[in-house]
Amino acid sequence: MTLETISTSKAFGGTQGVYRHASTATGTDMTFSVYVPPHEDGARLPVLWYLSGLTCTHANVTDKGEYRSACAEHGVIFIAPDTSPRGPGVPDDDAYDFGQGAGFYVDATQDPWAEHFHMRRYVEDELPALIAAEFAMADLGRQGITGHSMGGHGALTIGLRNPDRFRSVTAFAPIAAPSQVPWGEKALGGYLGPDREAWRRHDACAMIADGARISDLLIDQGDADPFLAGQLRPELLEAACRDAGIALTLRMQPGYDHSYCFIATFMADHVAWAAQRLKP
C-alpha cells in the first residue's frame, strides 16, 4: 500500500491532510482526509472516523465540519473517507441517492455494483490497515466512529458490528432504519438484492433487534430537518435501544436542518463524547 499526499495545511496547531491511494476493496483510487492534532513526538492518539452522507466526498466535512478546533483541544485524529468508489470505469446512476456518492457502507452483491461498491470492507478493514501502516501516531486500539445521514447509518451499523473496536459511536441525523425508508430500500435493494433478510446486517434497528449491542450512543437530530419523518426516523432507533437496554442520548435540536450548519454546531460535542470514551 502506498499513499499519495494531495495536500497538507497547518490548522489549529496540527495538520490537515488529503491523501489518495489505490484501494483493493473498491478497485479504484480512493481519496480521504486526515486531521492530526498537535501532539508530542512519540505520542499515540485516538482516532475518530467520520462517515459522510449522500453526494458527499471527504471534502464536505473537511471544509465545513469545524472539527479541527475540538480535535486539537482533545488530541483526537479525525479521518473522513469518501462515500463510494468513483471514476469513469465505475458504474453510476443518475439519481443522487444511488451509485457514485451513495455507497451506503455495504458490500454490494448485485451487478453491476458488486465489482467496485465495497464500502463496508473499505471503511471497516482496508482503510484502518492503511492508517495503521502510514500514521504512526494513530492508536487503532482507541477508535470511535460518527457520521451524518447515510454516514450516520454507516457509523451505527459499523459500530454495532464491531463493539470491541469502536468505544464511541455517535451520529448526526442518521438514517436509523434504512430497511423502512425510501433511501434505504432503494440502496439496500439495489446493492444487496430483494431478499430483505440480507438487509438486516446493514440496518441499525434490525441489528439491535437481532442482538447487536453497544454500551451507549449519542444522536443529534434537527427538528427542522426536511428528511426527519420520511427518511431518518430516530423514533425507531429510540424504540430499538429502549427494548435492548442501550443507553441512547437522542437530542432533538430545535430549528436545525440537515446541513453542515447543523453538523458544525454540534461537532465539538461529538468530538468530546468520543474523547471521553477513548482515554487511554
Q: Specify the long-range contacts of residues 252-256, CB closer than 8 Å, at least 24 apart.
A: 252/221, 252/222, 252/223, 253/220, 253/221, 253/222, 253/223, 254/223, 254/224, 255/222, 255/223, 255/224, 256/222, 256/223, 256/224, 256/225
Rounded-to-integer distance, Cα 98 and Cα 118, Å: 14
Q: Which CB sits closer to its own copies, 224 or 247? A: 224
For residue 267 the three cell numbers come to: 461537532
Q: Which CB sits closer to its own copies, 66 or 134? A: 66
- 118 is annotated as an active-site residue: no
Q: Is residue 224 a contact point for its own copies (CB under 8 A)?
A: yes
**Contact assessment for residue 53 and residue 148, using Cβ atoms and an 8 Å cutoff:** yes
Q: Is residue 63 a contact point for its own copies (CB under 8 A)?
A: yes
**Mode of pairing for the β-strands spanning 14-22 and 166-172:** unpaired
Position among 68, 86, 202, 270 found at the interface with its own copies (CB under 8 A): 68
Pick the stretch among 60-68, 150-158, 168-176, 244-252 that binds its own copies (CB under 8 A): 60-68
Q: Which CB sits closer to its own copies, 148 or 167? A: 148
Position among 41, 255, 279, 280 found at the interface with its own copies (CB under 8 A): 255
Of the listed 82, 203, 220, 225, which one is catalytic? 225
The residue type found at 72 is: A
Q: Is residue 227 a contact point for its own copies (CB under 8 A)?
A: no
Of the listed 58, 118, 148, 258, which one is catalytic? 258
Rounded-to-integer distance, Cα 179 and Cα 168, Å: 24
Q: Is residue 222 a contact point for its own copies (CB under 8 A)?
A: yes
**Mode of pairing for the β-strands spanning 216-222 and 247-253:** parallel
Q: How many residues bind its own copies (CB under 8 A)?
A: 22
The residues binding its own copies (CB under 8 A) are: 9-13, 16, 63-64, 66, 68-69, 222, 224, 255-257, 259-262, 264-265
Positions marked active-site: 149, 225, 258
